[in-house]
Structure 1
Amino acid sequence: MTLQRYQCKKCHHIFQSRIPFTNGEASHTKKFQAYILDLLRLGLTISAVARHLRINWHVVKDIHKAHLHKHYRNPNLKGLRYIGIDEFAVHKGQIYETIVVDHETGRIVYVGNGRSKETLAKFWRRVKRLKVKIEVVSSDLSAAFISSVGQNAPHTIHVYDKLHIVQLVAQAMDKTRRSVYKQTTDME
């Protein structure tokens, strides 16, 4: 298909005529995008779809990202009562993102860049603006999460991750054991 290209005489920007069955600047059709999304819904990974269609991984990733952004950018918070806050690593632990999940439905209700208190600020502003009554928050023992919940939802019940509590107890017991051992060996 031959496309008509134009160049602005003032800024020299080059652009082309719009094709109705494509999405903006995309070099593929809406049906092709739908096919890629169907393959992802079937459980194929982004890499598997790219290999299957013999296209660049970034093309599949960009289509998926645009779809998620369009359909899930502002999820409905109505009836949200029990949430879980956690972080996950992106790029092998160098970059982190924070996720908030509705414990009743399993829906992801927020994803933010980073794992600081500021990362959750946008989520809490939206909760306050929509007058959402959160009753219980679960998280790990991250100081940022504890501070964020304490500052923005002080009347909620904050439940901590069992794994981290057990680790703290084990560390305290180990410290006590070493101290007692040192005292008994010093006495001899």
Structure 2
Amino acid sequence: MGRAKIEVSRPRWACRECGSTCIEDVPFRAPGQRITLLLLAFVCDLLALGQTLKAVSLMTGLNRNVVKKIERARLSGLYTKEGEDGETRLRKPKRQARYLGADTFKLHNRHRYATVIIDLKTGHVLWLAHSKKRQVVYDFCDFVLAEWMSNVETIACDMNADFEWTFLKRHPRLDVVYDCFHLVKNFNEKVICKVRKDKQARLKGGGRRRGGACPQALHIHPHVLCGHQEEEGLRCTRRQGGLKGKRPLRQAGGPAEGRGQEVLRGAHIPKRAACYLRHRR
């Protein structure tokens, strides 16, 4: 992407009385940036459409830090205002929200968290604060006031007991909804994983006992699952040669012939294990 170079002559003026000098401002220059007003408006439009900082930086040729500074100024103008005491404060929501969503996220991959509360219908950010304590919810309720919260019907959050307890303490009539993602995640971590580990431990433990023929056969001779594909009257006696590029040793007949098939007939083998061993062969 080519760059356009603009040369502007800016005369400098000097005061004869005090000796101070001043330079004329460039009318098409963006305040605080070394870019034009048209480029600034173009970057703001891209950011408003939801483009990432990296994508806007690649499209416009600007440095990522410049785009980040523009985005910060744009968000400050949308969601903050200067109070009477000169401090910057958040703007109160312009429209009434009926469904709210609250969640926490980690900052810069450290043990620092922030809490965000949004309007689920429009996606607008209503509250953003450091920490994930209950005081964050109290501050939000005090910010929007009780009259605004009286028209809220539902709050969606994860299974964090602090959020649910805090919202219900201030506004008991609210309906708390758990999102589907965290329900499935907790079910997988606390139910499915434990059942899988218990089943795996029982299979491994059964293989160490004499009565556990199937798990022992699977651990020591996994090729028995494919024994029906071997030539009749032959069975694999060693598979280590396959690792070195050699053909596996085979032995004909004998009293051990068909022993693997007998083990498989009386044992229940999970479908996933069968597929794995079939691909492994």
Structure 1 residues 98-117: aligned runs within 5 Å: 98-117=115-134
- What fraction of aligned residue pairs are identical, expressed as a percent? 26
Distance 1:82 1:39, change over 3 A: closer
Q: Higher relative CO (CA 8 A, sep ≥ 6), structure 1 or 2?
A: 1
Name the counterpart of 2:56.
49
For residue 190 of structure 2, what is the amino acid of its counterpart?
Answer: Q
After superposition, give the CA deviation of every residue in 1:45-99 in whole Å (9 maximum; x if it has no partner): 2112223333221110110121112123425253322111112334346543322
Query: Do residues 122 (structure 1) and 139 (structure 2) align?
Result: yes
Structure 1 residues 90-101: aligned runs within 5 Å: 90-92=107-109, 95-101=112-118
- The DSSP-based 3-state class of the residue aligned with 1:80 is coil
Query: Do residues 35 (structure 1) and 48 (structure 2) align?
Result: no
Deviation at 1:39, TM superposition (A): 2.9
For residue 171 of structure 1, what is the amino acid of its counterpart?
Answer: K
Distance 1:122 1:38, change over 3 A: same
Distance 1:3 1:151, change over 3 A: farther
Distance 1:125 1:96, change over 3 A: same
Which one of the candidate residues 161, 171, 174 is aligned to 2:190? 171
Query: Do residues 139 (structure 1) and 157 (structure 2) align?
Result: yes
TM-score normalised by L of structure 1 = 0.67
Structure 1 residues 41-80: aligned runs within 5 Å: 41=48, 43-73=50-80, 74=91, 76=93, 78-80=95-97
Deviation at 1:43, TM superposition (A): 5.0
Deviation at 1:135, TM superposition (A): 1.7
Deviation at 1:106, TM superposition (A): 3.2
TM-score normalised by L of structure 2 = 0.48
* Structure whose alpha-carbon radius of gyration is higher: 2
Which one is further off, 82-91 or 164-173? 164-173
Query: What runs of 5+ residues in structure 2 fail to find an aligned partner?
Result: 1-7, 13-21, 81-90, 199-281
Once residues 134 and 59 of structure 2 are traced to their aligned partners in structure 1, the CA distance between those partners, rounded to angstroms, is 41
Query: What runs of 5+ residues in structure 1 fail to find an aligned partner?
Result: 5-14, 179-188
Alignment size in residue pairs? 170
Query: Do residues 82 (structure 1) and 103 (structure 2) align?
Result: no
Distance 1:161 1:17, change over 3 A: same
Once residues 3 and 119 of structure 1 are traced to their aligned partners in structure 2, the CA distance between those partners, rounded to angstroms, is 53
After superposition, give the CA deviation of every residue in 1:26-58 in whole Å (9 maximum; x if it has no partner): 333432211112233455421122233332211
- The DSSP-based 3-state class of the residue aligned with 1:106 is coil
Q: Is the 8 Å Cα contact of residues 97 and 115 (structure 1) preserved in structure 2? A: yes
Once residues 51 and 65 of structure 2 are traced to their aligned partners in structure 1, the CA distance between those partners, rounded to angstroms, is 15
Which one is further off, 41-50 or 55-64? 41-50
- The DSSP-based 3-state class of the residue aligned with 1:131 is helix
Which one is further off, 143-152 or 88-97? 88-97
Q: Is the 8 Å Cα contact of residues 86 and 98 (structure 1) preserved in structure 2? A: yes
Output the aligned Cα RMSD: 3.7
